Amino acid sequence: MIQIGTPLSPSATKVLLLGSGELGKEVAIELQRFGCEVIACDRYANAPAMHVAHRSHVFSMTDAKALRNILDLEQPHLVVPEIEAIATDVLAAWEKEGHTVIPTARATQLTMNREGIRSLAAHTLKLPCSPFEFVSKLEDALAAATRLGYPNVIKPLMSSSGKGQSTVRSAEQMPDAWNMAQAGARSAGSGRCIIEGFIHFDYEITILTVSASDGIYCCPPVGHVQIDGDYRESWQPCDMSETAWQKSQHIAKTVVKELGGYGLFGVECFVCGDEVIFSEVSPRPHDTGLVTLGSQRISEFGLHARAILGLPIGEIELLQPSASVAILGEGTGVPRFEGIDRVLNIKHTQLKLFGKPVCEGKRRLAVVVANGSDIKQARATARQAAAQLNIVLD
């Protein structure tokens, strides 16, 4: 029998979030609906989830000593990584001592490094993947690109939100692409990259897959658009053949079962007709899944909260076709939003302002979620609404 205590009391069920962005904020809200005591951590102050958590800590989560100190101080029942830049060796040691890491320490270690998860998918699980090679030097990258052919895609082994990723169309472009990968890596200049053969896919999908006490479930497929490796739009359900959908679910459930533990996973795949090719997996709610705030009876964040608390899912219910559009700020300053009334005057639309304390460069600051009678209408409404919002940086 699952028991949950009372926050800020000796019986509290304490959940430590490692990463407190907009996705972590939604997870924190869902956990608090179940009466959990939430502690939000991030490398910067006033991160979105910190606004709604019971308390927070600011430190670099790649700092092993600092991370261990917080674990010892808080003694959480559940440690929930919400980003990839974490000293995962500390999580592995914490788990070995008998504590719970979501979904597992092994899953966080494998998925934060593209070499680990791609090798697992292609070689251990024998899932269809794009052709790829791992390289440590520019000379190796040029040789691999020759074997794989142009165009190809280069990515740092450890990065997020498309940082350091680029499409290379000729050998002449590789030096600049290599330098970009070095600069965009989680540890700048860390060197090792993956070169992938280019896949001429029809579309990309995310299979939001939840592993819970009562089984493994797949949400209806989420279609999405990425620019420079970062999410810009998503919609649910994505229209696809039944054959492709069955293959997608097989890939998602195979990866999630192998990684183990409880929680929601974002499994990304390329679809070419009836063929499905594995791309990546995140062992946490996915940015493209923001659309589920409008499309599903229980959003991906609610599903994640239920699963990690050991609660059953029962079923996943799609309420209506929906779409999301991410809204980015560009420049440097503290965001201020104009036109909120214009956004909300458009029927069947939600607006979520993330509350990030500052914008530096291009940064996702808000999202519009819209419903429609079909996906075409939902996407058009979401785009129309997003265009009404103006971001001023002070």
Query: In Å, what is the CA distance from 143 to each residue of 16, 130, 133, 171, 270?
Result: 44, 17, 10, 9, 25
Residues 29 and 18 sit within 8 Å (Cβ to Cβ)? no
**Which of 379, 137, 361 is CA-nearest to residue 239?**
379
Query: How would you list the strands of the sheet with 14-18, edge to edge?
Result: 55-58, 37-42, 14-18, 78-81, 100-101
Question: How far apart, in whole angstroms, are the C-alpha atoms of residue 87 and residue 108?
Answer: 10
Q: Where are the alpha helices (DSSP H) in 97-150?
A: 105-111, 114-119, 138-148
The set of residues, in sequence order, having a beta carbon less than 8 Å from that of 71 and lying 6+ positions away, is 16, 79, 90, 94, 99
Any catalytic annotation for residue 268?
Answer: yes
- The token duo for 272 is 């070419």
Any catalytic annotation for residue 170?
Answer: no
List the catalytic residue out of 268, 294, 295, 306.
268
Any catalytic annotation for residue 139?
Answer: no
Question: How far apart, in whole angstroms, are the C-alpha atoms of residue 263 and residue 281?
Answer: 13
Question: How far apart, in whole angstroms, are the C-alpha atoms of residue 301 and residue 215?
Answer: 17
List the catalytic residue out of 84, 196, 287, 300.
287
List the catalytic residue out of 62, 119, 160, 254.
160
Cis status, amide bond into 175, omega within 30 of 0: no
Distance of CA 208 to the CA centre of its chain: 10
Any catalytic annotation for residue 280?
Answer: yes
Any catalytic annotation for residue 287?
Answer: yes
Query: In Å, what is the CA distance from 73 to each residue of 16, 17, 59, 97, 348?
Result: 11, 14, 14, 15, 45
Question: How far apart, in whole angstroms, are the C-alpha atoms of residue 164 and residue 157?
Answer: 10
Question: How far apart, in whole angstroms, are the C-alpha atoms of residue 285 and residue 301?
Answer: 6
Question: How far apart, in whole angstroms, are the C-alpha atoms of residue 199 and residue 181?
Answer: 20
Question: How far apart, in whole angstroms, are the C-alpha atoms of residue 15 and residue 150?
Answer: 46
List the catalytic residue out of 35, 162, 310, 355.
162
**What is the set of active-site residues?**
160, 162, 268, 280, 287-288, 364
